[in-house]
Structure 1
Amino acid sequence: MASKPCVRARLAVTASIFALAAGAGQAFAQEATQVEDVIVTAQKREESIQQVPIAVSALSSEALNEMKIEGGSELVRAVPNVSFSKANFSMYNFSIRGVGTKAISASSDPAVAVSFNSTPLIRNRLFEQEYLDVQRVEVLRGPQGTLYGRNATGGVVNMIPNLPSHKFEGFIKGEAGNYDSRRMQGLVNVPLGEAFAVRLAGSMTKRDGFDYNSFNDTHVNDRDLWSTRLSLAFEPNDRFRSNLIWEHFEEDDQRSRTGKQLCTTDPGPTSIGGVAITSQVVRNRLSQGCLPGSLYSDAAYGVPNGGAFAHVFLASMNYGYTADRQAVYAVNPGVNPYAGLTQSRDLREIATSYDPIFRVKNDVYQFNMEFDLSDNLKLISQTAYAKDDYYSSQDYNRFVSNPIFNSSEGLYDVLGRPIVAPTTPTPGGYYNDPQLGRSNRMLSVDLSRSDNRQWTQELRLQSSYEGRFNFSLGANYIDFKSNDDYFVFNNLFSFLAEYYYNVVIGAPSNLGRQTQPCTPATTKECIYVDPTSLDNLAGDGHNYFRSKNQIHTRSWGVFGEAYFDLTPEWRLTAGLRYTDDRKVSTPYPSQLLLGADRGNPGQLSGGYVSRDYPALPDIDQQWDAVTGRLVVDWKPQLSFTQDTLVYASFSRGYKGGGANPPRVDINPAVIQYQPLAQTFDPEYVNAFEIGTKNTLAGGALRLNATAFYYDYKDYQVSQIVDRISLNENFDSRTWGLELETIWRPNRNFRMDANLGYLNTRIDDGEGSIDVMNRTQGNADWTVLRPWLQVPSNCVAPTRHVQTILQRNLPADTTVAALQALCGGSLRTGTFNPNFTSNLPFWRIYGFTYDPLTEAPNGGRGFNADLSGNELPNAPNWTANVGAQYTFFKDDWELTLRGDYYYQGSSYARVYNTTYDRLKAWDNVNVSVTLEKPADGLIFQAYVKNLFDKTPITDSFTNSDDTGLTANVFTLDPRLIAVSVSKRF
């Protein structure tokens, strides 16, 4: 982390630049070159950015190229109080003023509305694909509850493409760089008579991988993507205009969704309450896998205690005996698959036997019409259809286990007879998983895939009268369908499904023989093993985890905004919107290692079915909301400015709620575990803002400032609980300041800078269970790991844990008893005497205990007090300073440019612990451009991330049953490239 004096020095430099710009403006007024005006559609009408009473940043295609902003993720370098990071499950978090998308379930919506040509897209690739033939990008900060409506509580990012024009033009660009980067862009615009025009643009990027996989000796996280856009324009007369746009994006490479996986290893306790723990099996099962240490410490580059995993514990089944009567286990009792392993300190180096796969296809179709009903009244229609298909698979852990399987060949039964079978589970110490293949190690791979479709229609009636009153009235409708799947495969899951339940428990005499097929007619309890490969997955097996989510969202709204010129200097803007949202979620409970038989479903595993994923009844949710804004702006005539706008506004924003994904479908007569909320609430924000926009020094200096305050209700934040993304709601308060300036004292020199300060605070009385610290330091309670089907850890009274440990019974019995304290376990039941079980051996310990009634939050743990904590991904400071100087020589222009970006420290989670801390980071980018404008010829060289820094931009904590590892996300490494382009 940067030291405080260093941070203060950086901020002082930034402030000095603002002061220098303001103070020196008049001195350069005589030779000043005016800062170019930018026309925006922030109010869905064309206006100068300096005349819009909204905090908005706009970047033209020229500005994007100068700053080398080539995709949505890089907008952080141009907009104050903005942060960005990739997130788990193919998501991203673009945050404005601390308001982003920390709710990542299938039914959650982004808090920053992302629009393509003013059409909102709930699922999109605008932060993954590279900008293509862009006219400008607008970033509106603050809730936009009237014109943009739902899901714009944080703001709006609107990418506006170039449309066909009535002149012939073309462009071609080629680029080469490090990582064997090759990029091409091109466009052609062709007028077809007086009424028609067509524009075709395309781009492609190929680049080698940023990350090194030391196990396979391969480079992964590469790029292989391309985009095309075809636009048609039809203007038969002066009163009617229309255009049709089709944009296609496709990617097929080895991009990683997440970065390295970090862990401060938890070896497990050596004693509890003074009772020594001598068994490695028991010690492992009292470990939570990873401890909540800093992600920046050397210890963070450890691995989880794999011996803590329930699937490792259960795999220590007895195969038989050697000739000298030594027991042979599938996996040795007490083994830790990751024992002795550490990770490289290089965040760009992983070790995995499975290289990632990343495939995306995205299409957006948009049809726009404008009809002038009169000289001052316009009717606008926007119709859009979007389709997005996504497939991404990668190693779940990004590190490789030790060999763990023992050979099942040449063994004897308890009577000393050879075990003869047509097949054995692990011949030669290798298990052949139907999805992951043959290995002697523990393998774990995930798969995220989705199929999304959206249809949108908007109608607007806009006036442009010369008088003192104008308006905009409209209505829109969105129909969005999403089918999302997330899988986690582990060869121990398949092994247990085949040989533990189907053989050992179902029919003990079948050990080492062919398993009985698992069918609906099977007489014993069984768990279906899907035989299909990852590339052609049937998806109906119970030998892997599957979160299946189907969401159908329908939303309609009516809105209006009126503009009153009270005097030549004063204007009143009043907007109102009514939104009606309906979401229907079809819950498909996960079925990992759950099975059934015809006579007594789930008597052993707790399941109801052996195969497939039956749906529960739909969850039908509906909300309506009234939002809008009220703005007063003033345009005073001041002696020291050429143009000044001062405004004050109140706005209200809304974002819909949703349903939490369904958990495991466990039969409560067999296994009990803690209840969780089925749904989460919508978000609402009341925002107050004052701002000023100024043009000074004869147009050479632009200086804008904003101050804001948010009263936020029910901000949505997710964490993994019971293998699902559990969404919780928190109230908060936020205030902040923003400064933006552009200074161009002459035609040679230009400087632009922005500064953002943000102060966020979660309200008093808010709390949440921190899965990394469930006891909150209370020594009277101990964290325990549950039975395999129960996904999350629990807390239990330390005195009961001591009682169990003091009996010093065999490790298997001790572990089973400890697991039962979490609510129930196979055959052992629960310590609740009213709960019926096959083997209620809790009586041998001499106490009764019901975690659902006697433990905090049903045994889930103690709430952490969040009062006064900062919101996640809300850095206190962001700053950017960029400067360029152009040398003019004959017909040539040589421009040197440098940009410095700084983002202060923040937190990845609401708990604000050391584990959550994200250090401040900075970034430098430089470019050199040689241009001959008369010929449309440009040569450019640039370096991004000049000092090759690798900051952690965010992290995500995985589930309890996989050890609470942390997926971290970072920036691209240093990129160097040269390009040549020709416009004609």
Structure 2
Amino acid sequence: MFKFRVMALSSVAGFVLVAGGMAQAQDTVSAAGQDQALMGDIIVTAQKRSERLSDVPISINAASGDQLKSMGVSSTDDLQKLVPGFTFQKTVYGLPVYFIRGVGFNDTTLGVSPAVSVYVDQQPLPFSPMARGATLDLERVEVLKGPQGTLFGQNSTGGAVNYIAAKPTPQLQAGFDLSYGRFNQVNAEGYISGPITDTLRMRVALRNEYQDDWQKGYTARQSNGKRRFYTGRVSLDWDAADTVRVALTVTGWRDHSDSQQSQLTQYTALVPAPMGRPLPFPIETFPTAPRNSRAAAWDPNLDLSQDNYFYQFAGRIEADLSDDVMLTSLTSYAKYKQDIPIDLDSTTYSSGVSRDFGNIRSFSQEMRLSGDAGKIKWMVGGNYQNDRVIENLLFDPLITSGTGVGPFTFDTTYVDNDQKISSKSAFGSLDYAITEQLTVQGSIRYTDQDRDFAGCVRDAGNGQLSAALAFLSTIVTGQAATIPAGVCATLSPGYVPLPIVTNSLNQDNLSWRVSANYKPNSDTLLYANVTKGYKAGSFPTLPSGTSVALTPISQESVLAYEVGTKLSLLSRKIQITAAAFYYDYRDKQLVGYIIDPVFGTLPSLVPIPKTRVTGGEFSIVARPMDGLTLSANSTYLSTRIQQNPATPIGPFGNVTDFKGQSFPYTPKWQGFLDAQYDFALSSGLTAFVGGNVAGRTRTTAVLLSNAPAFADQEALLRIPGYKLLDLRTGFAAADESWRVEFWGRNVTNKFYVISATRNSDFTTRYTGMPVTYGVTFRYRFGAK
């Protein structure tokens, strides 16, 4: 193991040290230049063109790559540390689900289109698991809030995260970051960038993330939680002609890390004895997990190592057709594969073991024309995306006492979900400057999506599930049924055996946005937006005795109203942004439950006919004195279900009234405070000390029934609020050529819950990381 860590470190450090030895002498960045980067005219591409952040009439949070590293943001999951209104949770298989302003898509199925979309240099990562390596070697990140469907695709009803990768440079540069921390964490990242010819530039970046086990068994001598994550990116920028620019990027990552194991908080048999399926071990007496972030339990014979990988080939061509008109082409091909093991019952007994196998292939092509004609800025374009998502879920029926049909029981079950998704869209936008201070904007996108599904449940070839479902079909229909072993066994709604369940969901929509913004001076912006957005529907991945459980959920829509302001005061020593918003939702996709005749109560997406979101955001960045930077932000959200679905089923299978409830994973308040003081120790040496506090109020994990009979059980599906404290201090060269930082995350070792779920007979939760601490050394070679 030690040899492996040394080799991993050496591979990256040696790579950049050799490059640094060839690099030129460094240029010095003045303090004034640093102040401008911090407080001045940050350039963003939120509207698919370069603009000052203070001129964009959208609620945006932007941070540089160095800022992300200092705050411990190593993945998209960590953006909740600095983006107000951004939250994430983990599905039962550990896959991320992102929310902005309470809007997300909380489903375990691999093939769902997220409500918060992620891009790198405007190239899509259309499925959330693909985004794990997106934070490598960044120039900055932009988080756009509210529906972004007119420019960034139909599914961005919550918002969009656009990472901007560091680009190849015209001078030779290189650098590396080396970190060592608790749990034997060893992270190494490096890059080299520079010219190959006068017109061709290249940048290569690599990162290796290593960590030993951090979880430990609380009933047996076990450990889990190792990190083995490798990612890289190669970028080429080519000036093909004076008016043509080409960028090619190859990105990939591989993950052999352990799946985080959830904690058991309660076992309650859905079908109590003697009617329920007898279990071959005393699971009712297994102790629940203590309030300790590291505590967990799982089958001692289970290897929780994942085998996931991702790669993407992306191309961008820009051609200036005239001084004022540009043609842009974006092409992307991405492949993702996963093998994720998990112990769903969170005990040491041999039950609940599951593996989620998946493959995604995604192709995207966008073409657009944009122009600037004085008072008018315009854009027209089209997009085509084709996805194939295949998911095979290995499911252990011992997770529930409800599995079984008459005298028939069954063991390992496979759940198949094969989706083919084709999306075509056309879009356009127009900005018109009525006066120098007043501008109106409009954008529109028409999208047509065809989604074809094929899936079912089947046994592992032993014929147990086939015999059980054939018996059920015979009893209900009165007609003798036979289902061969190992083939699809799902029944129709009339309990007739189906060779396979097939269905399609073909829908279209028209997203639009209108905006007016008023800029009385260069330091003040007032804006108002009205946006209509849509998110596509989906087919679930569920063990299904009948095809009713595989019914798709249709698209949702939102009509969003927002007003806001961006202010700079006291010669830009203070910057303030504020926004208020109201969302009117139709057919909001939230997690409810259905009753399957074979597999019992199953989590399922439920369309809520009418819901609303009301809220506000406020942030401030201030430099009250030289060297001192203070920032604070907060978000208030009020979400409410205004109308029940046709059949409202609560988390324990009972019909309930959801009216008046808030959305799951939507804390009413979120806030973040950060302070840093930089001071000179000598003419060439500076020091800094800083820290931040991030907090949020309580929320729920699912829609609750609020029935007195289930009060104790549903209390475990409520997620308490928490506050986390991070600290940092260190030294740096005055020209930032090197930097040493000592850091601590969650330094008070706060126990907090990321997500919770009711999975058949078991209620479980995922916890956040305990206290971690370490040191990072950063070095940069070459011109800046």
TM-score, shorter chain, exceeding 0.5 = yes
Partner Cα separation in structure 2 for residue 40 and residue 658 of structure 1 = 32
Counterpart among 184, 187, 202 of residue 188 in structure 2: 184
Per the normalisation by structure 2, the TM-score is 0.86
- Residues 733 and 912 of structure 1, relative CA distance in 2, 3 Å threshold: farther
Q: What secondary structure is seen at the aligned counterpart in 2 of 1:358?
A: coil
Deviation at 1:613, TM superposition (A): 2.7
- Provide Cα deviations, 1:112-152, integer angstroms capped at 9, x if missing partner: 11112212222244653372110111110000121112110
- Counterparts of 1:138 and 1:609, CA distance in 2: 53
Q: Which of 390, 398, 411 matches 1:483?
A: 390
Q: Residue 60 of structure 1 contacts residue 137 of structure 1 at CA under 8 Å; is this kept in 2?
A: yes
Q: Secondary structure at 2:465's aligned position in 1?
A: coil
Deviations 1:947-968 (A, max 9, x none): 1112112211112xxx1x2221
Cα shift at 1:288: 2.5
User: Cα distance, 1:600 vs. partner?
Assistant: 9.3
Q: CA deviation at 1:740?
A: 1.4
Name the CA distance, whole Å, in 1 between partners of 2:529 and 2:242. 37
What aligned pairs does 1:108-257 form with structure 2 within 5 A after superposition?
Answer: 108-125=112-129, 128-129=132-133, 131-214=135-218, 217-256=221-260
Which residue identity lines up with residue 507 of structure 2 in the other structure?
Answer: W
Q: Aligned runs of 1:798-809 on 2, under 5 Å?
A: none
Q: Does 1:624 align with 2:508?
A: yes
Task: Tell me the CA shift for residue 164 of structure 1.
Answer: 1.1
| Equivalent residue for 1:443, pick from 332, 351, 371 | 351
Amino acid at match of 1:262: T
Which residue pairs with 1:932 in the alignment? 733
Distance 1:102 1:606, change over 3 A: farther
Match of 2:296 in 1: 350
8 Å contact 2:64–2:141 — kept in the other structure? yes
Name the structure 2 match of 1:727.
Answer: 605
Asked whether the 8 Å contact 1:925–1:946 carries over to 2, the reply is yes
- Point out the more displaced range, 85-94 or 154-163: 85-94
Check the 8 A contact 2:618/2:634 in 1, yes or no.
yes
Aligned to 2:563: 690
1:468-491 per-residue CA deviation (whole Å, 9 max, x = no partner) reads 111011111110110112112368
Q: Which one of the candidate residues 247, 262, 266 is aligned to 2:265?
A: 262
Counterpart of 1:569?
A: 437
Greater strand content: 2
- The answer on 1:557 being equivalent to 2:438 is no
Counterpart residue type for residue 174 of structure 1: L
Match for 2:767: what amino acid? Answer: T
Q: Find the aligned partners of 2:53 and 2:568 in 1 and give their Cα distance.
A: 11
Distance in 2 (alpha carbons) for counterparts of 1:455 and 1:107: 14
The one-letter amino acid paired with 1:595 is: S
Paired residue for 1:899?
Answer: 692
Instruction: Tell me: CA distance 1:892–1:764, structure 2 relative to 1, closer, same or farther (3 Å).
Output: same
1:729-780, Cα deviation, whole Å (9 max, x unpaired): 0120111000111111333111111110001111134465445444xxxxxx
Letter in 1 for 2:529: S
The offset of 1:685, in angstroms, is: 0.3
Distance 1:38 1:912, change over 3 A: farther
- Segment of structure 1 superposing worse, 600-609 or 651-660: 600-609
Task: State how far apart, in whole Å, the 2-side matches of 1:230 and 1:383 are.
Answer: 16
CA distance in 1, matches of 2:775, 2:275: 50
CA distance in structure 1 between the partners assigned to 2:211 and 2:227 by the alignment: 5
Deviation of the 1:254 alpha carbon? 1.8
Instruction: Please say if 1:53 is aligned against 2:54.
Output: no
SS at match of 1:698: coil
Give distance in 1, aligned partners of 2:589 and 2:510: 19
Cα deviation for residue 492 of structure 1 reads: 11
Task: Measure how far apart 1:338 and its partner are.
Answer: 3.7
Q: 1:977 aligns with which of 769, 774, 778?
A: 774
How far apart are the structure 2 equivalents of 1:937 and 1:982?
Answer: 4
Displacement of 1:60? 1.0
**1:589, distance to aligned residue in structure 2 (A):** 3.4
TM-score by length of 1: 0.69
The amino acid that maps onto 1:972 is M
Count of residue correspondences: 713
1:615-643 Cα offsets, whole Å, 9 max, x none, are: 52531221110111000000114xxxx51
Sort the Cα spacing of 1:308 and 1:91 in 2 relative to 1 into closer, same or farther, 3 A.
farther
**Residue of structure 1 aligned with 2:321, choices 352, 373, 378:** 373
Equivalent pair of 2:94/2:259 in contact (CA under 8 Å) = no
How far apart, CA to CA, are the structure 2 residues paired with 1:78 and 1:908?
22
- Out of 304, 312, 317, the residue aligned to residue 278 of structure 2 is 312
TM-fit CA distance, 1:675:
5.2
Q: Shift in Å at residue 400 of structure 1?
A: 2.5
Deviation sequence 1:38-73 (CA, Å, 0-9, x none): 211100001011100001111111321332222111
Distance 2:659 2:262 in 1: 31
Return the alpha-carbon distance in structure 1 between the equivalents of residues 634 and 562 of structure 2.
Answer: 17
Rg (Cα) greater in structure: 1
1:62 matched to which residue of 2?
A: 66
Match of 1:919 in 2: 720
Matched, 1:388 2:336: yes
Take 1:607 and 1:216, find their aligned partners in 2: how far apart are those partners? 44
C-alpha distance in 1 between matches for 2:247 and 2:644: 53
Give the match's secondary structure for 1:443: coil
CA 1:126–1:485 in structure 2 vs 1: closer, same or farther (change >3 Å)?
closer
Counterpart of 1:610 in structure 2: which amino acid? Answer: A
SS in structure 2 of the partner of residue 73 of structure 1? helix
In the alignment, which residue of structure 2 is the partner of 1:454? 362
Deviations, residues 88-125 of structure 1 (Å, cap 9, x unaligned): 23432211111011233345320111112212222244
1:867 to 2:659 alignment: yes
Any conservation in 1 of the 2:414–2:458 contact (CA below 8 Å)? Answer: yes
Determine the C-alpha separation between the residues in 2 that align with 1:600 and 1:85: 40
Match of 2:757 in 1: 956
1:168–1:144 CA distance, 2 compared to 1 (3 A): same
In 2, Cα distance between equivalents of 1:308 and 1:575: 62
Is the aligned partner of 1:595 residue 2:466? yes
- The 1-side partners of 2:641 and 2:398 are apart by 42
CA distance in 2, matches of 1:650, 1:77: 28
Distance 1:337 1:58 in 2: 49
Does the C-alpha gap of structure 1 residues 120 and 981 become closer, same or farther in structure 2, counting only changes over 3 Å?
Answer: same
Q: 1:656 to 1:312 in 2, by over 3 A?
A: same
Structure-2 separation of matches of 1:57 and 1:974: 27
* Distance in 2 separating the partners of 1:751 and 1:126: 34
Q: Which residue of 1 aligns with 2:450?
A: 582
**What pairs up with 1:5-20 in 2 under 5 angstroms?**
none
Indicate conservation of the 8 Å contact 1:873/1:908, yes or no: yes
Output aligned runs, 1:833-912, within 5 Å.
861=654, 863-888=655-680, 889-911=682-704
Deviations 1:835-876 (A, max 9, x none): xxxxxxxxxxxxxxxxxxxxxxxxxx4x21111110111111
Give 3-state SS (helix, strand or coil) of 1:558's partner: strand
Residue number in structure 2 paired with 1:718: 591
Question: Letter of the aligned partner of 1:72 in structure 2?
Answer: T
On the 8 A contact 1:629/1:649 being kept in 2, the answer is: yes
Give ranges in structure 2 of 5+ residues lacking alignment. Answer: 1-34, 490-498, 707-713
Q: Deviations over 1:893-934 (max 9, x none)?
A: 111111011111111112274523211111111111311143
Q: How far apart are the structure 2 equivalents of 1:977 and 1:492? A: 40
Q: Determine the C-alpha separation between the residues in 1 that align with 2:454 and 2:166.
A: 40
Partners of 2:335 and 2:319 in 1: CA distance: 28
Instruction: Give per-residue Cα distances to partners, 1:337-369, cap 9 Å, x unaligned.
Output: 443645444342123222422121011110111
> For the residues of structure 2 that align with 1:879 and 1:626, how far apart are their CA atoms?
35
- Alpha-carbon spacing, 1:175–1:951, altered in 2? closer, same or farther (3 Å): same
Report what 2:270 is aligned to. 288
User: Which residue identity does 1:445 align to in structure 2?
Assistant: V
2:651–2:703 Cα contact (<8 Å) kept: no
What CA distance in whole angstroms lies between the structure 2 residues aligned with 1:548 and 1:701?
Answer: 55
Say which of 756, 760, 765 aligns to 1:968.
765
Q: Does 1:740 align with 2:743?
A: no
Correspondent of 2:525 among 623, 639, 645: 645
Q: CA deviation at 1:661?
A: 4.3
SS at match of 1:679: coil
Which residue number corresponds to residue 76 of structure 2? Answer: 72
Q: 1:566 to 1:225 in 2, by over 3 A?
A: same
Provide the rounded CA distance (Å) in 2 between the counterparts of 1:481 and 1:772.
31
* Contact 1:231-1:246 at 8 Å conserved across structures: yes
Change (3 A) 1:351 1:917: closer
